[in-house]
Structure 1
Amino acid sequence: MYQQPELLIAGAPRQTAEFAENIVVNPATGVELARLPIASQADIDAAVAAADKAFLPWSETAPARRSRILRDAAILMRERLDDMAHALTLENGKTLAEAKGEIGFTADVFDWFADEARRAYGRVIPSAVGTRMIALKEPVGPIAAMSPWNFPAVTAAKKVAAALAAGCTVVLKPAEETPATPLAMARCLIDAGLPAGAINVIFGRPAEISERLMASPEIAKVSFTGSTNVGRELARLAAPGLKRLTMELGGHAPVIVMDDVDLETALDLSVAGKFRNAGQVCTSATRFFVHHRVYDAFVSGFADRAMKIKVGDGLDPSSQMGPLSNRRRPPALERLVEDAVSCGAKVAAGGKRIESQGFFFEPTVLADVPPNARVMQEEPFGPLAAIVPFRELDDAISAANDIPFGLAAYALTESSRTARRIVRGLKTGVVGINTFAASAAETPFGGVKDSGYGVEGGSEGLDSYLVTKFVHEN
């Protein structure tokens, strides 16, 4: 059962006069799930006004009370995990096991920031006798949060939980493809006692909503996860109002595989890291730079494992990988494969869409991919791995850095000295050594270069929602 999405403003559902046609689709079947309500300019303004009205009382709520509400919301998410995960799989396509994992991770994020709500410390600065100098931390104000479809629960949670913990109120604009999951998260907050207006959820025409929110003087800060091109446009819109921005943008993660690895372990880790959520992960491992001594065995083992992955509807317990998010993605991936082959790459596994009513694509492995192939520069955002050999580590590090993106990178090696050298050399915000786990509730997450700026998660995740006020008493 998929619940009809509604706008959520000032703690209550809001009716709209306009609906989009066929916008919420099950990517495993191509079947329409629901018609999405389109927020009018009046709806957008009402959401901003509700967040603005709720800001002062929420910001003055005792941190212990804010903490309790976030904690209770996390409890409700775990109690409602099965229903939330089912809706997430329906609208996103990921396997039910992955969906349950994401909802659990989302609850962990709320638990983490429930603790951080009590730790927004200022400091007393040593000063001359008779004076006192204090640095206070105060919430920045109402914020706008814009989250994507690939992880609709946890990316929204990192923004919403941190903002509420800091004492800010929120207007959340989730992806139109996956409205049910963030709405369910917001309902958990309201049922946990969050005051009306502290969380508002709106959908509609993304450009229209973004422009309206960016132009609103009440919105003090914006947190966005999405494409680099949209991020640039939002930065332009934010400039006149000097709004604070946190940008988590595109990635194209490299993996450096050294010749000292246990090959079977390295392959198991790599294949799982590549094909999670059908490769639709901003930190997904995509460009594999493999030492020439283990290159042939790595390609063969990777392709063999990829061909054994069972692709199917995420609600089928036997499925190991679900569909792509929309009907545009399979042909886009086919074009990347065709371009790579025309440049000299070899298809070691997969390479084409799977004929069905859904948006499925074969787990794909490309070998001997030259640097001029588009897939080495463009994030495929799908189940496609590009593998190339290297001889010298410096060359691998240089090739890994030779793109505009710098979100995540990985290395597989048994040498701690080599690992430190790779960590120093890679120009990314996140580095995984012998792991493809790039994020946890208690850790900071963010990129450099065209992958954006600022971090979310961890104790650092609270900072961008706070302003520092210096007080000097004589």
Structure 2
Amino acid sequence: RGTPAKRRGEILWAISDLVLAHADELARIEVLDNGMPIAMARGLLDGVVEGFRYFAGACTRLHGRTADMGEDLEYHAFAVSEPVGVAGLVVPWNGPLASLGNKLAPALAAGCSVVVKPAEQTSLSTLRLAELVLEAGVPPGVVNVVTGTGPAAGAALVHHDDVDKISFTGSLEVGRGIVAASAGNLKRVTLELGGKSPVFVFDDADLDAAVPVVGAGIFANSGQVCFAGSRVYAQPGIVDDLVAGLVEHAKGLRVGNGLDAGTQIGPLISERQRARVLDYVASGLAEGGEVVTGGVASGGVGYFVEPTIFTGTRADMRIVREEIFGPVLTVMPFGGLDELPGIGNAGPYGLGAGLFTRDLGVAHRAVRLLDAGNVWVNCYGRRDRSLPFGGFKQSGWGRENGPEGLDAYLEKKSVYLHL
């Protein structure tokens, strides 16, 4: 916190340069830990570089403001921003470096010291990035990494009275536990939790353009994405064509080792996660759904599940209501714009939503009807560091990225001087 803002910005930029210089190495580590395709890992690192450079520029924009108290200049009043203190950064396994970058860059820009707790399944890339952070000039002791399980290391961090803030990305259940545990010293808490994001395809949509985007929205990273577009709704006249296109797309995806440059779908993170996904598939079948492609574990070594598409599903089914965190998509019909609030806003989540239509009037009206922190129109999953990312309802508290992401690591202090 005592480092001048200009110097903090220089250090963050140096981190970005080192991440870029070591991007191939970091991407390989990420694949070995997580299993995601190497091309995806490398692309996410470009976002990490962008994030550090965005917040490097923010270091010198931590401005306060003054107030005119209207008392014959007897008082000078102003507000300043100061670092919140020690921030605990709890990082998930599905995109370790991308998530860590979203937290670490603004925390350092604000002047905080941090303790990072990576997921026990994917600690290696965090440890390597911590080495690069030191090399970039961050003072020793400012960035600390504590490995271990959530119930041990994570819980200790959340309960610790000397930790002033927790930023957590993960499941809704764990997020609720963090809120309860942070009550001891009333920590500041930012939560980026789950989602069950709807995607609406209107009958005027360009299906040739929509199909690969909708497919990527659920099958990227094997569906292990918080804002995955896991429930798709299409108007009746195009449902069959959309399903046929998605089935062809899913069957054409290459499933394999993430280190193979041609792989498009990697393994799930663990045997436990594969069992969870297959349990949801079984549940969908038992409740009357029909699998039109996939639905089984792939053969060979690794925790693979084939890209899966369900039809004949209903709103009350588990696979429609609950976050699966796997490559499982449900496709259902919807009537039109007036149905969006009832369908799109059902359930506890509000992280993302997608729309495909050529009618900008419909798009604008639809955006206003959806309770989601991120809405994509004729695209899906795009993000920019200057815009806030987070969710409505139980998809989280607060926002990452943009000015809001920096504010999450700042306290506001008002000062009144009697002259």
> TM-score scaled to structure 2, two decimals?
0.97
Q: Does 1:181 align with 2:125?
A: yes
CA distance in structure 2 between the partners assigned to 1:284 and 1:209 by the alignment = 28
Q: Does 1:273 align with 2:217?
A: yes
1:438 Cα deviation from its structure 2 partner: 4.3
Q: Give the corresponding residue for 1:6.
A: none
1:202 Cα deviation from its structure 2 partner: 0.8
Match of 1:321 among 259, 265, 269: 265
Match of 1:120 among 46, 62, 79: 62
Q: Give the corresponding residue for 1:395.
A: 339
Instruction: Tell me the amino acid that sits aligned with residue 201 of structure 1.
Output: V
CA distance in structure 2 between the partners assigned to 1:437 and 1:460 by the alignment = 19
Decide which moves more: 439-448 or 90-99: 439-448
Note if contact 2:285-2:291 (Cα within 8 Å) is conserved in structure 1. yes
Instruction: Describe how 1:218-367 pairs up with structure 2 within 5 A.
Output: 218-367=162-311
CA distance in structure 1 between the partners assigned to 2:311 and 2:252 by the alignment = 18
Instruction: Describe how 1:417-436 pairs up with structure 2 within 5 A.
Output: 417-436=361-380
Q: Give the corresponding residue for 1:13.
A: none
CA distance in structure 1 between the partners assigned to 2:303 and 2:333 by the alignment = 32
Instruction: Describe how 1:140-219 pairs up with structure 2 within 5 A.
Output: 140-219=84-163
1:164 Cα deviation from its structure 2 partner: 0.6
Match of 1:78 among 14, 20, 32: 20
Query: Could you give the per-residue CA deviations for residues 282-315 of structure 1, whole angstroms, max 9, x where no partner exists?
Result: 0111000111111110011101110111100011
Note if contact 2:354-2:378 (Cα within 8 Å) is conserved in structure 1. yes
Q: Give the count of matched residue pairs.
A: 416
- Is the partner of 1:285 in helix, strand or coil? coil
1:198 Cα deviation from its structure 2 partner: 0.5
- Is the partner of 1:328 in helix, strand or coil? helix
1:73 Cα deviation from its structure 2 partner: 0.6
CA distance in structure 1 between the partners assigned to 2:289 and 2:253 by the alignment = 22
Match of 2:10 among 56, 60, 68: 68
Over 3 Å counting, the alpha-carbon distance change for 1:205 and 1:331 in structure 2 is closer
Note if contact 1:283-1:438 (Cα within 8 Å) is conserved in structure 2. no
Instruction: Tell me the amino acid that sits aligned with residue 50 of structure 2.
Output: D
CA distance in structure 1 between the partners assigned to 2:12 and 2:39 by the alignment = 25
Query: Could you give the per-residue CA deviations for residues 157-185 of structure 1, whole angstroms, max 9, x where no partner exists?
Result: 11111111000000000111111111122
Match of 1:99 among 41, 47, 51: 41
Q: Give the corresponding residue for 1:382.
A: 326
Q: Give the corresponding residue for 1:111.
A: 53
- Is the partner of 2:134 in helix, strand or coil? helix
Note if contact 1:235-1:245 (Cα within 8 Å) is conserved in structure 2. yes
Query: Could you give the per-residue CA deviations for residues 15-65 of structure 1, whole angstroms, max 9, x where no partner exists?
Result: xxxxxxxxxxxxxxxxxxxxxxxxxxxxxxxxxxxxxxxxxxxx1210000
CA distance in structure 2 between the partners assigned to 1:462 and 1:184 by the alignment = 24
Decide which moves more: 80-89 or 125-134: 125-134
Match of 1:461 among 369, 393, 405: 405
**CA RMSD in angstroms, aligned pairs only:** 1.2
1:420 Cα deviation from its structure 2 partner: 1.5
Instruction: Tell me the amino acid that sits aligned with residue 266 of structure 1.
Output: A
Decide which moves more: 434-443 or 347-356: 434-443
1:344 Cα deviation from its structure 2 partner: 2.2
1:429 Cα deviation from its structure 2 partner: 1.2
1:127 Cα deviation from its structure 2 partner: 2.9
Note if contact 1:430-1:438 (Cα within 8 Å) is conserved in structure 2. no
CA distance in structure 2 between the partners assigned to 1:321 and 1:356 by the alignment = 14
CA distance in structure 1 between the partners assigned to 2:59 and 2:132 by the alignment = 18
Decide which moves more: 341-350 or 219-228: 341-350
- Is the partner of 2:116 in helix, strand or coil? strand
Instruction: Tell me the amino acid that sits aligned with residue 33 of structure 2.
Output: E
Q: Give the corresponding residue for 1:473.
A: 417
Query: Could you give the per-residue CA deviations for residues 193-242 of structure 1, whole angstroms, max 9, x where no partner exists?
Result: 10000000011132122332233222111100011111111100111211
CA distance in structure 2 between the partners assigned to 1:205 and 1:255 by the alignment = 34
Instruction: Describe how 1:437-456 pairs up with structure 2 within 5 A.
Output: 437-456=381-400
CA distance in structure 1 between the partners assigned to 2:338 and 2:46 by the alignment = 39
1:439 Cα deviation from its structure 2 partner: 2.6
CA distance in structure 1 between the partners assigned to 2:153 and 2:338 by the alignment = 45
Aligned-pair identity (%): 37
CA distance in structure 2 between the partners assigned to 1:118 and 1:413 by the alignment = 41
Instruction: Tell me the amino acid that sits aligned with residue 61 of structure 1.
Output: T
Instruction: Tell me the amino acid that sits aligned with residue 366 of structure 1.
Output: F
CA distance in structure 2 between the partners assigned to 1:261 and 1:397 by the alignment = 20
- Is the partner of 2:362 in helix, strand or coil? helix
CA distance in structure 2 between the partners assigned to 1:370 and 1:191 by the alignment = 54
